[in-house]
Structure 1
């Protein structure tokens, strides 16, 4: 049975009953975050309880269970799992090959310490995510390397961590191979190339605000005092940049990101072997006793299992939200009661897209929920160009989405940063750090300015039209007699 043929799930308590699983999940995640116990593994229990609450509240439990399974087995889930498994191994190989030491050497040689390294890390993540189109892959692939190296070079742990997430969000927002770019363009009937061209000023403006923040607040005085005592790194570790370049190059050639990551894994093994940093036994070997790791491949996969399991449970709950029809009803109500003008329509597109992204674990489904019907109808009704409505949607879905800890990209980011800090013995950021990620906030500011500026230009144009019409009618002129059409 397809999703279009599936009847909407009915819950005891109506709308509040349908909302209860989400409220339970969010409450648990916020509690763990406030108590400094956030992470994908602690989040398992919250998701499990939320699924159980929904089961007891749903009037048709069989349909509810089918909805959960459909969410766990959809294409988004399988693609995320495949990518994470390869990216987890990739991160372990890059670290074992000495890329951290290589980046330390670059930072020490160029003086890129503190805020300078934070800015460098932000740019690297921007380029990587722009080429791959995946925020999750960027965090998993680069986080284990850039985070510890940056802290060792005097970067503020919290600012560095949110710089990595900001760079990942930039690519998700702008990349031509990003699922959000593709979905936002197709649902509005716009060409991807036109959407990218017109979105570029918005994305670069938000990135520019981030650059200022990272330069001014990226350095830690305490950490900077420790830089001189640390190892100056090893230039040979820079050879591990070649696998990274290979992954980006393959992604830019429109090769599948899973294929790109697999060949990146192989390249990382070869580069590590050439420098002597990695042996075949490090990659895979028969352990001396049962229960001991077989090598870097196992360690890499194990490092992402927590995120994978949490993602499956959240995607299952996301499917329940969609099958309950809750978001559709809320968004339709907002459309009927709030949107009256073109400026209101643009503001409404941003607002409903953000609202749809809050409960959903992935941002592309949020665009699919509001794009084809609500947003496109608003754009057509108020004369908003398809490229403009696509840009408003895509930029909006890359704001609040990258702040909240129950979203997949943020949950994985928390897991990667915490694991990297624990493995290398460096300081970890606060569990609430995601709320201070600059790129989403900067994009909200940019969107507000853009909508205001367009509204002002539209008003000026209307004024000029009125003045032009009035100029043809002076007080002394004799009004023309009305002529009936023939």
Structure 2
């Protein structure tokens, strides 16, 4: 569809937002009404939003041409392909039980109280960075670390919050995280190429490191307040051998950032991880890839990785379809122009502040589903940032950093808080209150915008 040929909606251009409104409504019903979360349901909501939203367009066929154009864009295809590849590496790390190695370290050193809370935060950061999955990290870490922390004198709010904080840390920083992939892919250089993931991650480390160090200190100092040390042993969950899987994780991160090619990083991580895991006896060859003759099916972590990531890919496809509609309707340009014409966005600093507010509002509206909010607001930030000559790396960092901070931990409107609460029985308000990293990361990026720290211009 040419740039001049805009989609027409009954009732005006504002009606092009109907698919977005339907998707937001679906999120609210899912999170607040059903108190449930899964990517399959979110993807279903996205496709239903397209099916119903097209009725309000003057041409249903043109509507779907625009949706397919958005789905088939280079950005959309790149995100889906990378997600499918990282799914296999993530499944490999999950199979090896890396968290058990950290429990062994805690036992060996004799940690308790606030020190154990700080250590759990660090362990959760490493696991989430290794797997690229915040939700997966919470399901792995809560059953192992939370009861152990309470037994060792940790404050229950801080103990729950440190696990959610660690999960968010990796979601923000990991090169194989869906939000990192989405934030980099939606920000383009002047030549039209999307920002490379390795470069984005390299420039993001300083923000995550500062926020992480501050968070560690807070957890260490306040993590044991009100806790009662009960003694006992948590040896059952300990497995020091699993720590060898840090080797492929480090290699994957190093190669990805040094070469600025995520594909090379994943290849190195998969090959070395498979070799190291087999040599250490953490899994068998059959668990890599084999035939389940009884069920006529192929099994193994390679298959599991693809299966586990498919719902996320479906969500990405549906959101890009909605973005394709908004783009051809002229709504994305209209929103970007309105922001650029505002007095506040007249400077680089003002434009960055407006973008922080925009991504924060979008993230809250979408129930803390950061991948969806980044894909939704990313194209708008891309236009605003390009107009103010803000480097794509900086844009991607503001996009991901803001989404994965305070807006992602609003009680009753956050998938992170909801899952954290469901896994330990605490009130969502309590879990959100202990998620210190979300507060600190927001403060770090807000301070970076006000002071200009880390601001880059595109040459």
Superposed counterparts of 1:294-305, under 5 Å: 294-305=299-310
1:154 to 149, 153, 160: 149
Residue 398 to residue 337, structure 1, CA distance change in 2 (3 Å): same
Q: 1:187 to 1:14 in 2, by over 3 A?
A: same
Which position in structure 2 is the counterpart of 1:483? Answer: none
Give the unaligned 5+ runs of structure 1: 130-135, 380-385, 455-486
- Counterpart of 1:164 in structure 2 is 167
Of 114, 117, 123, the match for 1:115 = 117
The 1:451/1:314 distance shift into structure 2, 3 A limit, reads: closer
Partner deviation per Cα, 1:112-171 (whole Å, 9 max, x = no partner): 564123331355369x58xxxxxx946489677656554464383454133221343246
State the Cα distance separating 1:26 from its structure 2 match. 1.0
SS in 1 for 2:277: helix
Q: 2:251 aligns with which of 233, 246, 250?
A: 246
Tell me the residue number matched to 1:351. Answer: 354
1:261/1:371 CA distance change after superposition, 3 Å: closer
Superposed counterparts of 1:81-100, under 5 Å:
81-100=80-99
> 2:251 & 2:313 partners in 1: Cα distance?
25
CA contact (8 A) 2:340 2:351 kept: yes
Q: 2:372 aligns with which of 343, 361, 373?
A: 361
Counterpart in the other structure of 2:403: 400
Query: Residue 87 of structure 1: CA displacement?
Result: 2.8
- Once the two structures are superposed, residues 52-107 of structure 1 have per-residue CA deviations (whole angstroms, 9 ceiling, x without a partner) of 12110112222211222222222333333333333333233333334333232123
Cα distance, 1:333 vs. partner?
A: 2.5
Gaps of 5+ in 2: 151-158, 453-459
- How far apart are the structure 1 equivalents of 2:219 and 2:323? 34
C-alpha change, 1:400 and 1:269, in structure 2 (3 Å) is: closer
Q: Any residues of structure 2 matched to 1:171-186 within 5 Å, and which?
A: 186=189
SS of the aligned residue for 2:24 comes to helix
Q: Is the 8 A contact 2:161 2:435 kept in 1?
A: no
Kept after mapping to 1: 8 A contact 2:277/2:283 = yes
The answer for the alignment partner of 1:475 in structure 2 is none
Between 1:361-370 and 1:232-241, the stretch displaced more is: 361-370
Q: 1:392-422 CA deviation, whole Å, 9 max, x = no partner?
A: 77425531366459xxxx98x899x89xx99
Cα distance in structure 2, aligned partners of 1:269 and 1:196: 25
Show the counterpart of 1:327. Answer: 332
Check conservation: 2:75, 2:185, Cα contact below 8 A. no
The match for 1:33 is: 31
1:5 aligns with 2:16: no
Structure 2 SS opposite 1:399: helix
Deviation at 1:51, TM superposition (A): 1.0
Question: Greater Rg, structure 1 or structure 2?
Answer: 1
Tell me how far apart the structure 1 counterparts of residues 378 and 169 of structure 2 sit (CA, whole Å): 20
Post-superposition offset of 1:322: 2.2
Deviation, 1:37, is: 0.6
- 1:213 CA displacement: 4.8
2:186 and 2:297 map into 1 onto residues whose CA distance is 44
- Partners of 1:153 and 1:292 in 2: how far apart? 38
Report the secondary structure of 2:294's partner residue: coil
Is residue 264 of structure 1 aligned with residue 276 of structure 2? Answer: no
Structure 2 equivalent of residue 382 of structure 1: none
Partner SS for 2:299: coil
Quick check: 1:243–1:264 contact (8 Å CA) kept in 2? yes
Correspondences of 1:186-265 after superposition (within 5 Å): 186=189, 204-215=209-220, 228-231=233-236, 233-254=238-259, 256-265=261-270
Specify the alignment match of 1:55 in structure 2: 54
Q: What's the CA shift for 1:21?
A: 0.8
- Whole-angstrom distance in 1 between the partners of 2:266 and 2:425: 27
CA distance in 1, matches of 2:313, 2:432: 20
- 8 Å contact 1:9–1:64 — kept in the other structure? yes
